[in-house]
Structure 1
Amino acid sequence: MGTINKVRIVLIILLTFLHLNVKSQTHPSLVLTKEGVREIRSQLGKVPLFDASLADVKKEVDAEIVLGIDIPVPKDFSGGYTHERHKRNFLILERAGVLYQILEDEKYAIYVRDMLLAYAKMYPTLPLHPQERSYARGKIFWQALNDANWLVYVSQAYDCVYDFISLADRSTIEKDLFKPFADFISIGSPQFFNRVHNHSTWGNVAVGMIGLVMNDEVLLDRALNGLKDDGLPAGMKDNDGGLIKKEGQKTGFFGNIDEPFSPDGYYTEGPYYQRYAMYPFMIFAVALQNSKPDLKIFEYKNGILIKSVYALLNLTNSEGEFFPLNDGQKGMSYYSRELVTVVDIAYLYGAKDPSLLSIAEKQGRVQLNNSGMAVALGIKNNLEKPFEKKSIDLSDGADGKQGGVAIIRNKKNEDELTLVMKYASQGLSHGHYDKLSFSFYNNGTDVLQDYGLARFVNIEQKGGGNYLKENTTWAKQTIAHNTIVQNETSHFGGDFETGSKFASEKYLFDVSNPKVQIISANENNAYPGTTMQRTMALIEEEGFEKPFLLDIIQLNSKTANQYDLPFYYLGQLMSANFAYETPKSMEPFGKANGYQHLWKEGSATLATDNSKISWLNEGSFYTLTSVNQPNDEVFFVRIGANDPSFNLRKEPGIIFRKKNAQKGTFVSVLETHGNYNKVTELATNSSSSIASLKVVYEDSNYIGVEIKSKSGVTTLFVLATKNNKANQKHRLQINNKTYNWVGTYYKTTIK
């Protein structure tokens, strides 16, 4: 037998073995399974929400097929044509793969196959993306993160059409596209892949998903456990100043579950990025559950993935919008495609909680897989129950001991007030310097706001859709938040590494009495030598139309300092009970640390015991009443100074200032009251109900605040500031009257 014939025989045997080996794996096996597809097909035409979702996706994909395949040479930032086209491609590919499985129409498989072959032809020719801004550039996109997005979605498409594609074409696609793609975003980009961050979660999942489809255990192990030797220097940082490499840090998919999630399911980067990361977390969990059930991934870390979905849903206002803690775009909500997937999966792989069905019903669509069908069937059978968002305290940190976020809600019928106080850890590279900051909502309306991020996501005209420099110079700085600023310097000097070492400490969270709900926390490291305690209470009281928010801040320092306390409101200023000066021409409020981005629009030195400032927003009136000390100052400011590209929103704020003070106490009450109807042009209850606000007692162990209403009701609130034991007995004399109580606080009403 000739040498050539021997080689041919060996090749045939190898290909036959490879073919048999591949055929031993069942497809689809990631999010969809063969059995699951059969169940879905058996229900078609019988489940309205699923059928409607299927029709919408079919219409969308059919339109793309008519347009034809377009894979342009990458050149743009996010928002540009090539970026958006490749993003559109991966979304359509995943949907086309699902349609092939459900409808058994080969045109969808042909579309996926042909596009994958086109990418396989282009990918080997691609250098690094021409845009050089990212710490980890991609090839198809300007950052490896988006490349990983592409592979997470396209892996699912490949799984759905795997058996349709010929062995030769699969060999080409895997050799020229998927294997080098997975290697590039992992061993080729260790600074992206081998860290703890939402970026690396996407990278880990991308490599793991395609590893499962190709039955590649090396890729799967790399995805789950990270790179064994990444060659990265300790202390390496990304473009945002975020730490990439920590000594002894566990990486890979498991590492990205272990460290960022607290036992309560709070994700340390904040809800905006938790929403973004939950898609790969949950979609890979389903794939692992289907392919590697022995891992019991949904039981990992006490079922943290399912638990985190509930945490995320609780981190929304009445309209379902996520609180913009840390870097977060305002308006992002649980109506996003990620949350549709996440809610569906949590329902099927959790306890089939009927309250999740009410969220899915609001979302109005489901995923075209077994979890989506389960949800649609539950809604069809009228199993849904309301998802009740209650007051909750979510711990931060892997051990739950790195501070947290408290959400206090007061809801009457469909009317809800919500306080969000953040006393969490730094939040990785997306964190802000905002210890003990807060925001406040009236239903879905921002009353006192958190600015969120400085970025116009996927809008090419604004910095290529990426983070703007103002995110660092303004949005991350302490003065951009409703919290204390000392000597016009941000917490921890605005230094990421210093800030990452510390978290605030919870002192009290008590919502046992729905009429007096309290959060109190201490911060002892933001400014060396200065301690801060902030206590906030949402109180229902006679004489007030709605619950009022009591805010108490106590500062104690080794040196005399200037303390600023901003309140960023939205709406139109109505009145102030003090005279103030307005400049003929505006100047920036300061020179650095965010102050340079504030215009000074007015100022006053306060001479009254109480200052009152009222504004109108979205038909409701709000009044902020504050206790004043001699020589306290107040400033009216507006965001937007030193902003030549108009990147910042031009929104107003109020800043209270105490100068040359070693100790300082800020006490305020925020009232929500009245209504203005633009049609009838009638204003009701447009004035404050407070007659006076006083600090009636303060020493190193207690503070007492008295609120007198115009209707003659006096509220006394006393807090033990050093002893928070629930069974501690207290005895205190205030204005010649003795008060006895058990617990951290005392509240009484005097008529």
Structure 2
Amino acid sequence: MTTKIKIVFIVIGFIVLSCKDETTKNNNDQVSNQGHPNLILTKAGVEKIKSQLGSIPIFDKTLQTTKEDIDAEIALGIDVPIPKDFSGGYTHARHKRNFLILQKAGALFQILEEEKYAVYVRDMLMAYAKLYPTLPVHPQTRSYARGKIFWQCLNDSNWLVYTAQAYDCIYEWLSEEERHVLENELFIPFANFISEENPQFFNRVHNHSTWGNVAVGMIALVMDHDELLEKALNGLKTDNLKAGMKDNDGGFIKVEGQKVGFLANVDEPFSPDGYYTEGPYYQRYAMYPFLIFAEALHHVKPELKIFEYKEGVLLKSVNALINLSDADGEFFPLNDGQKGMSYYSRELVTAVDIAYHFGGNNPELLSIAKKQDRVLLDDAGLAVALGIKEGKDKPFEKKSINLSDGPNGDQGGVGVLRSEDLELVFKYAGQGLSHGHYDKLSFSLYEDGEEVIQDYGLVRFVNIEQKGGGNYLKENKTWAKQTIAHNTVIQNETSHFEGKYEVGSKHHSELHFYDDINSQVQIVSAKETNAYPGTQMLRTFAIIHDKDFEKPFILDILQVNSDNENQYDLPYYYLGQIMKANFQYTVLPELKPLGNSNGYQHLWKEATGKPSSHNSKFSWLNKGNFYTITTISDAQDDLIMARTGAKDPDFNLRREPSLIIRRHAQNTVFASVIESHGNYNPVSEFAVNTYSSISNLKVIYNDENYTAIQIEDVSKKVKVLLLANKDASKLSEHILKIEDKEYKWTGPYNYKLKSE
């Protein structure tokens, strides 16, 4: 019997066992057997915290900072304004501040036993109980599911997830009459509005719905409300929606036969490796409700064994997410992702603490917690604080990693290659739900936490009211989601899957092979056969640590085979100042967009050139380091220098450059080496090792079975990378004769001196 089926039986079991007559079932003044608090804080945990206060530095520091923050809010008084604004506006920001403050004030009441915090929580909740019954849906009409306190149900759900924790902390302090008012005037109507009145929001698989499911589930656990808990875990029994109906993000609300509810939102978006299909930015956002509700279920419904669900994927996902961050802890902006979001966020403080406490006390997580320099004011936060105090922390070692996508791990994935300070992120994943981009086989490159070749991320100024109310801007669809915005091949100026969600969501790339065992060569290869009908792509990245080079270098090999001749564009979105190119180019006297649609309309065509040799070189300086792309050129190639910002009247796009290799062919191989070399010190004004170490790069063999790339450095040493294009078995033996030399190797690739 599968874990999933077992859980469903357990859920049914506890609902049946707790069955009462209708009057008793809805008597929400009952307290659970262990009493309150019991969601995140527990009675036993509170007593343990109290006994340790003054001797656990990171916990004590967090407690003091929180106390100062909440005391300042209490002094200002309670403000529960009538909702009217988008994200970033006053009413939105105030209500968001309120739910964060409520949760913290509840924790302070339990830990410090100062009644002023309970009074503050009660009085604010009573203010909401008075306001909520009078509210229509929010006056801003942009969302597919408008909230009441906020412009979308998503933010209403945020409010309830946090507020349920505050209510749990003062539950036993309140009178029965006060609980009756809060539950019947505020919490039950609120939960029913999120669920029954907004099935298009509640009943689907998406981070939005996770928040909705958890909001209803958290308040259900506080009130011991079985009916609401069943909705949270398994969704609404019927939602009266047409299968395949779209939301305004372009994502499907529900497809026929799809399971919904919290358990489905664990089953579907997470791969067995813990990768979340929407990408790390939204995984970070969703980790809070996933783990907070899991912790609450663990405390209140231990029979569910929620942390064991799907082979413990919720705890496993925290490690996966940390591995999807750069050297500075900032998450790679795959799909819709705001740059700068990192594991210093409040969601990741929660995730790290809970994963440490319930996931076997991994000492590497303590090193992340030390960097975060704060903990949760609860049982998990105490466990982390004690672990740090006792010196149990160990460095979190980020190595090369390959994370599968899809609920069964068979829908492509993301590979991260790491060597010294270099990190290469290769995306060959599924669509990523409505936050996905059309960018199969795309990549980005980092050095010591700095972007070298970037992924654009999202087009949104989150919670900045001046920019579209802090919401997604139209250029997110017309630029950021389009294939030309990414470092991958574009055929005939048309995005992968024609930029259609319903097509892209049916397909994913396939891993060809991945190998990180050899410290000299970290390598990943993947295929894409559906982005363009009749066209197959195979892309391989290797970070090669070669003693004849100053630093490791990247080898990028992209093979394209098609039924017809096409125009192929391969952009590299480098960051920095151009230093030198070995080809002649002409700067255009008048800027014009590179194209008319599919994102091309947002690129200014600044200069064009033609290769002057069979290798084209392009160098730039960024953050004190020199970089060079050496790419194998065809005489008929166009080398285009472009920059974002065309047809952008509101200046919503960053103005950033790219080098685009344009080629007309039926079948072709794009092969390039990307080097980091030398440095420039503006204080000493010394420039060191400013030129590429590659003297010659060429394809010496290519057919459907094998590809061989030859690299000659400036000291005349010649190396060869050999690739098996079909047979990726690690055990297969290969023999390939190139000119007068025979190469023998085992496995999908080999890197060696040509003379060996």
Instruction: Report the TM-score when normalising by structure 2.
Output: 0.96
Deviation at 1:44, TM superposition (A): 0.3
Query: Any unmatched runs of 5+ in structure 2?
Result: 1-22
Tell me the residue number matched to 1:623: 628
Letter in 2 for 1:741: W
Deviation per residue, 1:262-292 (Å, 9 max, x gap): 0000000000000000000000000000000
Structure 2 residue corresponding to 1:486, chosen from 464, 482, 491: 491
- State the shift of 1:25 in Å: 5.8
Matched AA of 1:594: G
- Please give the per-residue CA displacement for 1:488-516, whole angstroms capped at 9, x wherever unaligned: 00000000010000000000101110111
2:585 aligned counterpart, secondary structure? coil
What does residue range 199-210 of structure 1 map to in structure 2 within 5 Å? 199-210=208-219
The aligned counterpart of 1:428 is: 433
How many Å separate the matches in 1 of 2:700 and 2:505? 38
Q: Quick one: which amino acid aligns to residue 157 of structure 1?
A: A
- CA distance in structure 1 between the aligned counterparts of 2:376 and 2:576, rounded to whole angstroms: 39
> 1: CA distance between counterparts of 2:444 and 2:354?
31
Aligned to 1:7: none
Q: Deviations over 1:352-394 (max 9, x none)?
A: 0111000000000001001001101110111100111111110
State the SS of the aligned residue for 2:423: strand
SS at match of 1:719: strand
How far is the alpha carbon of 1:701 from its aligned partner? 1.1
Deviation of 1:22 (Å): 3.7
Aligned to 2:562: 557
Greater mean alpha carbon deviation, residues 730-739 or residues 50-59: 730-739
Give the drift of 1:62.
0.3
- Retained in 2: the 8 A contact 1:71–1:86? yes
Which residue number corresponds to residue 272 of structure 2? 263
Give the letter for the 1:598 counterpart.
Answer: L
> Aligned to 1:513, what secondary structure does the other structure show?
coil
Spell out the pairing of 1:308-457 with structure 2 (5 A cutoff): 308-411=317-420, 416-457=421-462
Corresponding position of 1:737: 741
Task: Tell me the equivalent position of 2:727.
Answer: 723
- Match of residue 530 from structure 2: 525
SS at match of 1:674: strand
Aligned-pair CA distance for 1:725: 1.6
Q: Which amino acid aligns with 1:671?
A: E
For 1:696, give the aligned amino acid: I
Cα distance, 1:207 vs structure 2: 0.2
Distance 2:269 2:456 in 1: 23
d(CA) in 2 for partners of 1:549, 1:742: 22
CA contact (8 A) 1:560 1:662 kept: yes
Residue equivalent to 1:541: 546
Shift of 1:164: 1.2
2:667 aligned residue (623, 642, 663): 663
Q: How many Å apart are 1:543 and its aligned residue?
A: 2.3
1:749 Cα offset (Å): 1.9
Residue 690 (structure 2) pairs with residue 681 (structure 1): no
Q: Indicate the residue corresponding to 1:251 in structure 2.
A: 260
SS of 1:165 mapped into structure 2: coil
* Residue in structure 2 matched with residue 9 of structure 1 by the alignment: none
Paired position in structure 1 for 2:315:
306
Q: What does residue 206 of structure 2 align with?
A: 197
Residue type of the partner of 2:723? L
- Give a deviation string over 1:564-619, Cα, whole Å, max 9, x none: 00000111011100110011111000000000000001001223110000000001
Q: Determine the structure 2 residue equivalent to 1:105.
A: 114
| Structure 2 residue corresponding to 1:503, chosen from 500, 508, 516 | 508
SS across alignment from 1:583? strand
Which amino acid is 1:684 matched to? V
State the distance in 2 between where 1:732 and 1:159 align. 69
Secondary structure of the structure 2 residue equivalent to 1:584: strand
Please give the per-residue CA displacement for 1:451-473, whole angstroms capped at 9, x wherever unaligned. 00000000000000000000000
Letter in 2 for 1:328: G
Distance 1:688 1:342 in 2: 43
Look up the equivalent residue of 1:707 and give its one-letter code. I
After superposition, the C-alpha distances for 1:386-422 in whole angstroms (9 at most, x for unaligned) are: 11111111000001000000011012xxxx1001100
Is the aligned partner of 1:609 residue 2:618?
no
User: Which residue number in structure 1 is paired with residue 696 of structure 2?
Assistant: 692
Unaligned runs of 5+ in 1: 1-13
Give the RMSD, CA atoms, in angstroms: 1.2
Say which SS state the counterpart of residue 375 (structure 1) adopts.
helix
In structure 2, C-alpha distance between the alignment counterparts of 1:548 and 1:521, rounded to whole Å: 20
Which residue does 2:68 correspond to in 1? 59
User: C-alpha distance in 1, partners of 2:634/2:612?
Assistant: 8
Distance (Å, rounded) in 2 between the aligned partners of 1:43 and 1:624: 57
> Do the aligned partners of 1:422 and 1:437 also contact (CA within 8 Å) in 2?
yes
Compute the displacement of 1:19 (Å).
9.1
Work out whether residues 19 and 167 of structure 1, in 8 Å CA contact, stay in contact via their aligned partners in 2: no
1:540: how far off? 1.1
Quote the sequence identity (%): 64
Output the amino acid matched with 2:537: M
For residues 45 and 434 of structure 1, the distance between their equivalents in structure 2, rounded to whole angstroms, comes to: 52
Q: Are residue 217 (structure 1) and residue 226 (structure 2) matched?
A: yes
Corresponding residue to 1:636 among 632, 641, 644: 641
- Match of residue 58 from structure 2: 49
Q: Identify the range of structure 1 (321-330 vs 694-703) with the bigger mean alpha-carbon deviation.
A: 694-703
In structure 2, the CA distance between the partners of 1:318 and 1:290, relative to structure 1 (3 Å rule), is same
Deviation at 1:175, TM superposition (A): 0.7
| Structure 1 Cα separation of the partners of residues 571 and 211 of structure 2 | 37
Q: Name the SS of the counterpart of 1:326 in structure 2.
A: coil
Whole-angstrom distance in 2 between the partners of 1:44 and 1:84 = 33
Q: 1:703 aligns with which of 696, 704, 707?
A: 707
- Note if contact 1:340-1:363 (Cα within 8 Å) is conserved in structure 2: yes
1:116 correspondence with 2:120: no
Do the aligned partners of 1:542 and 1:713 also contact (CA within 8 Å) in 2? no
Aligned length: 732
The residue aligned with 1:186 is 195
How far residue 47 of structure 1 moved from its aligned partner, in angstroms, is 0.4
Runs of 4+ in 1 over 6 A off after TM superposition: none
CA distance in 2, matches of 1:153, 1:328: 24
Are 2:194 and 1:159 equivalent residues in the alignment? no
The aligned amino acid for 2:465 is: E
Alignment-derived partner of residue 6 in structure 1: none
For 2:321 and 2:691, the matched residues in 1 are separated by 37
Shift of 1:24: 5.3
Query: Does the 8 Å CA contact 1:607/1:631 hold for their aligned counterparts?
Result: no
